[in-house]
Structure 1
Amino acid sequence: MGAADLIADVAVNGAPGRMLGGGRVQSSASGNVTAMAGSAGVVTADIDQTSAAFTQAYTFANPQYVPAEAEFTAEAIGNTVASTVTQGDQDLTIRQRQTGAAVWATTSANAGNAWDLAGRARATANHVAVANQGGSVISRTDQGNVADVRANAIVTAYDFGEVTSHAGATANSVHVGNADIYVRIDNTQVNSGGVQADASFQGNGGYDAYVGADAAGNTITAYSCSDCPGYLEAANTQVNSGAVTATANTRVDSHGRAVITGVNAVGNSATFYVTRPGGD
């Protein structure tokens, strides 16, 4: 807990340099992080996280020539809890509050000639991820966000083979999965902050460009065993009063083979299932 700025910046100033072997570069800024794991036992936890920090991750790159796969990412998270248990049970109570001004993630990946270039940015105010196998899961989650949550992915390449630009911004996110029979969830999510995801690509000529942006105020996904008679009980309350915006822009000045662009913006999303989507 604190009000100090949390900033992670990374820059690859490559012009007119070359990245002949490609590479992966990431910046990551997090306010509070709790990670738990167990095997053949019971994990019981009562977790309370609050971040009042301005949180920002920024990744920049401008190599001239990249004849290999290169991925540049930025991830900013206010509060996060991750718990994984095998052959055991989980009983979790998690409260998260993001009260700082902003959670921002920006990636700017630029090249003269790139064969396989990706720029990704993800910003999340509060995130919970619970995975279980061989036992039961009881999860009580309470998330609140007032911060401005923004993800911006910018990719440019004069000549390109395949390029990807993706931005994802979420205020409150919960994911609970159990590869066994029993899951019980009590979830509350409230967001009043703005959520914005922007992705763009600009190039002269090449082959395939994939540009996407996803923005959500509150989202929860939960499932129980897909190969046995699973049981899932959920009580879910979601309130979103913040503006949620997603934009994707693609510009190819000369020629290209394929351009695939998509956006998703949703205030509240809840998905519960006991079989895999599309399964029998």
Structure 2
Amino acid sequence: MTAAALTLATAIPATSLAQEVVTSTQMQAGDVLSDQQLNVVENYGLTQVESQSTGNSLQGGNETVRADVSATQTVSGNVTARATVTGTNTGAETLSLGTPMSVTTQAVGNYMSHVAQDGDAGVTTHQSSTGTAVQAWTDIQSPNNAIYESGEGDAVSEVNHQAYQVSNGRLDSQSWQASGTESRADVSATVHYSPSVNLYKASATNNSYEANSEDRGSQAHEVHQDQSAMTHARAEVYGGNMWNVAAQGSAVANNTDIQNTGGSLDVTNDQHQGGNVQSQAYASADEYGTADVSASGIGNRLAAGNNDVTLHLDNTQISDGGVDVTATFEGNTGYDSYISAEAYGNQALAYACAECKADANITSTQVNNGDVNATSTVNVAQGRSIVSSARAVGNSATYYVSGGH
């Protein structure tokens, strides 16, 4: 997940554990649901709604001692987070739905995080999900209401997520993530009038593995990710008079993101995408100032970077499920519109220190057997500027090292 991730998608602050050896097994068989429904005639203050659901959650850390952790997490039920805000004004006067307004949903099947501070950690983790869906729904309906100051709607769905952080120590991690569960994030908004910034985002991921080091921290990771069900994200907004509106959709089947500040970085990454990836962004406005619509979809994604000398990477990515991305804007009368759609079967980025003599050993194999489609569509009756782009790539690899002087 990206920097915009919510609370669960970030490693917690370091906490001391009484035990140096931890063995944890979690199994969630039933459905998990969080649901909120608001009906608003008028609210001229803050409207803030948060709905969060998690199947299994394990959070830990070690400080000045070594920790060895073995964790197994299994979800076989559905995990759903839902929030609905409905403006019920029926009069001619435009009443406020929120000044500002923020609606956020987050659904996570399995979540695990660990922080190592001034100590080493060895972690072995197995995460699996066999339920039908992990889904986040954000629905904002304001056909006769207005949103002032700012409006935001977010939906984040992740089936399996792991987050690690190490500082002044060493982290050795082995991870297996398997998902036969659909990851689905949907945001839908209807806004009558808003003289302010409006941003509606949907982000769906099946398997996500993230690690970083602060100060000096060597890392060694072995990551295995397998996805066989759909990953779907859709952000849509239907506007009347919108001064500044944006819709963003992002879908990634398998994501590995490992960053190191000091010491060595050793990564073995194995990703297989078997289920389809769909990312959609849509916006329409009768009148608009600026409209920004973007959608991105990736089958397998890897980012591994070391701001020190040593980087060893063995990367294998196989994409079979296909990637479909669409970005659409429809406007009647307005000014500037920006539309982009990007689709990748496999994407890999790796780099080592740009200011010292890097020692990089990289082996990478990428195989794409699925269709990769990116489509941008614009329908404008009267506007000032239109900037539109569409990019589809089967396999993309970027590796960078630099020697010092």
> TM-score higher than 0.5 here?
yes
1:108 pairs, out of 233, 236, 246, with 236
Alignment-derived partner of residue 46 in structure 1 = 174
Counterpart mapping for 1:193-232 below 5 A: 193-232=321-360
Bigger mean CA offset, 239-248 vs 106-115 = 106-115
Residue 256 in 1 paired to residue 383 in 2?
yes
Instruction: Please tell me whether the aligned partners of residues 85 and 132 of structure 1 are also in contact (alpha carbons under 8 angstroms).
Output: yes
For residue 43 of structure 1, give the secondary structure of its aligned residue in structure 2. strand
Residue 189 in 1 paired to residue 189 in 2?
no
For residue 143 of structure 2, give the secondary structure of its aligned residue in structure 1. coil
Give CA deviations for 1:70-90 in whole Å, capped at 9, x if unaligned.
110001100000101121111
Alignment-derived partner of residue 17 in structure 1 = 145
Give CA deviations for 1:145-183 in whole Å, capped at 9, x if unaligned.
110100010011111111111110111000011111211
Unpaired runs of 5+ residues, structure 1, are none
**Residue identity in the other structure for 1:111:** G
Matches of 2:271 and 2:265, distance apart in 1? 19
For residue 13 of structure 1, give the secondary structure of its aligned residue in structure 2. strand
Counterpart mapping for 1:1-280 below 5 A: 1-4=128-131, 5-86=133-214, 87-100=216-229, 102-253=230-381, 255-275=382-402
TM-score, length-scaled by structure 2:
0.66
Shift of 1:7: 1.4
Matches of 2:399 and 2:267, distance apart in 1? 14
Identity %: 31
TM-score, length-scaled by structure 1:
0.95
For residue 18 of structure 1, give the secondary structure of its aligned residue in structure 2. strand
Matches of 2:356 and 2:388, distance apart in 1? 38
Instruction: Please tell me whether the aligned partners of residues 3 and 54 of structure 1 are also in contact (alpha carbons under 8 angstroms).
Output: no
Instruction: Please tell me whether the aligned partners of residues 109 and 155 of structure 1 are also in contact (alpha carbons under 8 angstroms).
Output: yes
Shift of 1:23: 2.4
For residue 294 of structure 2, give the secondary structure of its aligned residue in structure 1. strand
Instruction: Please tell me whether the aligned partners of residues 232 and 273 of structure 1 are also in contact (alpha carbons under 8 angstroms).
Output: no
Shift of 1:3: 2.3
Matches of 1:114 and 1:232, distance apart in 2? 49
For residue 127 of structure 1, give the secondary structure of its aligned residue in structure 2. strand
Matches of 2:396 and 2:222, distance apart in 1? 21
Aligned Cα root-mean-square deviation (Å)? 1.2
Matches of 1:66 and 1:222, distance apart in 2? 42
Detail structure 1 runs of 4+ shifted over 3 Å in the superposition: none
Greater relative contact order (Cα < 8 A, sep 6+): 1
Matches of 1:233 and 1:171, distance apart in 2? 24
Matches of 2:301 and 2:206, distance apart in 1? 11
**Residue identity in the other structure for 1:171:** G
**Residue identity in the other structure for 2:218:** D
**Residue identity in the other structure for 1:94:** V
Unpaired runs of 5+ residues, structure 2, are 1-127
